Chain A
């Protein structure tokens, strides 16, 4: 009821803008404090993230990962589950992609490999989420603990597999052999260059569109199917879910598997899209950042998409800043990221309540006249 009186642009533009601005002002102070020029840094950052096509490509490439992990957190969250295991699920999802590619790249064309790789990512990611989900649903083991543990186990498993089974023979490097081209997710720039469009060499690839499709899919699934209805009921009122005859254990398990599958798609972008070989540590914190992405995006696909772009820009812009201003170390960029999460995520109400109150009062006053 309250929201109705507040103009839409206030909520979707003004308030987020204020929050981000404040985050950047504080970041500027930090940068200033270590003797660097914050304005210059901001310039590099914005230019690096959005200023030219290649930079945009990188931003989108990072955003792809964040969309996947953000959606993964979101789906589970909607069912009242806190999936902190996106990291491990992404890692194992990548393993699935890698195995499909390694098995088929010599014999099959891309058209065959791509859907199988998607299935591989989904199945492996889902499988890694299945055990915690099962234990939560049937044994009451707290999902936060089990998913934390599964993140660690995923790392050990991957090192074991890479070192003992999957490592390429050529050198010390812990990569599998490089896939044949048939198992490469096409880059957008290779797709566009025949059309005469040059967008520079960036790693953004077809996975980005798959991520967009997933956004849409999650939106449909969660808000427009009965399955989504069930999971949202479970998430907001478990007693009502029982009353409604919803099999809560089953929904819990399936939700977590969908969540794991979504996280697993990170492997698509990283393994098939960019690295073209199986390797260690490609999940690189995307799973954890996905938590912030999902919550900042208000657990809605559109919000998640926007938050993912923001984080993609921070990653890419951050790399550019430290490239051009070596004194701005990657660690400062991490601080900036944290401040953005703090001010536009955790402190989102700081301005919101006041500004909304202002508009509501104005609307009410107008009504009375």
Chain B
């Protein structure tokens, strides 16, 4: 039982890591007032670029760099549309998601002739699990031994990065000048502008940070959690990250917990498949699959209350007031 729990939590950590990265990415963007439905596209684009570069150059780190570059480039397109040209944030996001979905496969086919996939990655082309010091030694210590050696140790570096990014994000958002301005520009860009700060440049920086984090999330998918790129492999994670962002009310720590919750519910659903409930017989697998979504909705309706986003989110900044 305890073992199972540890394993489920372990799975939770693995599945949540990219969600956390992407949700924090969304946090930077939306705190600055830019709605980002293109998290999905950025993850996918970065997953492709990272896997492709890693396959070509033989290093996961180079892959990561390329993943980030690709994702930031997409973020800049989003910024160009939403910030510079006051375009609709959602339309821009849908556009980016669509372009990436097609472009990754097109380029993949063109470059690798593997039906849009990248070659399978191995060895240095991937981020492999890291065993933390004393993990083996601790193995047999009751309770915490398991937690340390099986749950905390044995993940790849990007997982640790994802979790470290939570306090880092908190610190940036609440303790730095950039964070103060970031929060301000999503609430009232006019106030930022009249304070002598460029709204445009500030928002661009925010979407670039968003791009970097999505880049890491994408690289995680294709070079850490998996070993190569497969078309549409982001499989809706960007949308789940967005949901987690709203769930966590645009605050770093609650957002992390929302991601962990999604990850955990997923792990639970995986375990529950095929379970036979006395009296009811086997629960249909589809019911189990929906469980995470249903539970999320119930939690949302029961406890979370109203989620109010940054006031100016989604609204293009025009100097004259509306």
Interface residues of A, Cβ cutoff 8 Å to B:
30, 34, 82, 131, 135, 139-142, 144-146, 148-150, 152-153, 156-157, 159-160, 164, 288-289, 291-292, 295-296, 329, 331-339, 341-342, 345-350
Contact = CB atoms under 8 A, between A and B. Distances in A.
A144 B37 CA distance: 11
Contacts of B297: 131, 135, 141, 145-146, 149-150
Max count, chain A CB within 10 A of own CB: residue among B100, B239, B240, B287:
B239
17 contacts: A30-B106, A135-B301, A141-B300, A142-B247, A152-B293, A288-B94, A291-B90, A332-B106, A334-B99, A335-B103, A336-B102, A338-B100, A339-B95, A341-B95, A345-B91, A346-B88, A347-B87
Contacts of A156: 286-287, 289-290
B91 A292 contact: yes
Chain A to chain B: the 5 pairs with minimum beta-carbon distance, closest first: A334-B102, A338-B99, A338-B98, A140-B306, A346-B92
Contacts of B98: 292, 334-335, 337-338, 341
Contacts of A131: 297
Contacts of A338: 95-103
A335 B294 CA distance: 34
Given A332-B106, A349-B86, A145 B92 contact: no
A334 B41 CA distance: 13
A335 B102 contact: yes
A146 B101 CA distance: 24
Nearest to A345: B91
Given A144-B242, A292-B94, A331-B105, 7 more contacts: A141-B300, A145-B296, A150-B297, A291-B90, A292-B91, A296-B91, A348-B85
Interface string B47-77: 0000000000000000000000000000001
Contact of A342 (B92, B247, B301): B92
B307 interface: yes
B91 A295 contact: yes
B175 interface: no
A346 B258 CA distance: 30
B102 A332 contact: yes
Contacts, number: 148
Contacts of B136: none
B82 interface: yes
Interface of chain B, main secondary structure: helix
Contacts of A30: 103, 106
Given A331-B106, A338-B101, A146 B290 contact: no
A348 B100 CA distance: 20
B246 A144 contact: yes
Nearest to B100: A338
Contacts of A331: 101-103, 105-106, 109, 116, 231
Given A82-B90, A164-B284, A350-B85, A292 B95 contact: yes
B3 to A, nearest CB: 29
B268 to A, nearest CB: 15
B81 interface: yes
A237 to B, nearest CB: 10
A345 B301 contact: no
Nearest to B302: A139
B305 interface: yes
Contacts of B161: none
Nearest to B247: A145
Max count, chain B CB within 10 A of own CB: residue among A30, A139, A144, A145:
A145
A96 to B, nearest CB: 19
Nearest to A140: B306
B243 interface: yes
Contact of A139 (B92, B116, B284, B301): B301
A333 B99 CA distance: 9
A34 B106 contact: yes
Contacts of B168: none
Contact of B284 (A144, A160, A333): A160
Nearest to A149: B293
B313 to A, nearest CB: 12
B110 interface: yes
A339 B99 contact: yes
Contacts of A153: 290, 293-294
Given A142-B300, A335-B106, A349 B85 contact: yes
A21 B294 CA distance: 45
A140 B307 contact: yes
Interface in B275-320: 284, 286-287, 289-290, 293-294, 296-297, 300-302, 304-307
Nearest to A82: B90
A153 B231 CA distance: 23
Given A142-B246, A145-B300, A291-B94, A347 B85 contact: yes
A332 B94 CA distance: 16
Contacts of B99: 334-335, 338-339, 342
B246 A160 contact: no
A312 to B, nearest CB: 16
B102 A341 contact: no
A333 B103 CA distance: 10
A333 B101 CA distance: 11
B287 A160 contact: yes
Contact of B101 (A82, A334, A350): A334
Interface in B220-262: 231, 236, 239-240, 242-243, 246-247
A337 B102 CA distance: 9
A142 B306 CA distance: 7
A159 B286 contact: yes
Contacts of A339: 95, 99
Interface in B104-120: 105-106, 109-110, 116
A346 B314 CA distance: 12
Nearest to A146: B297
B30 to A, nearest CB: 12
A348 B86 CA distance: 9
A176 B301 CA distance: 36
Contacts of B82: 346
Contacts of B284: 160, 164
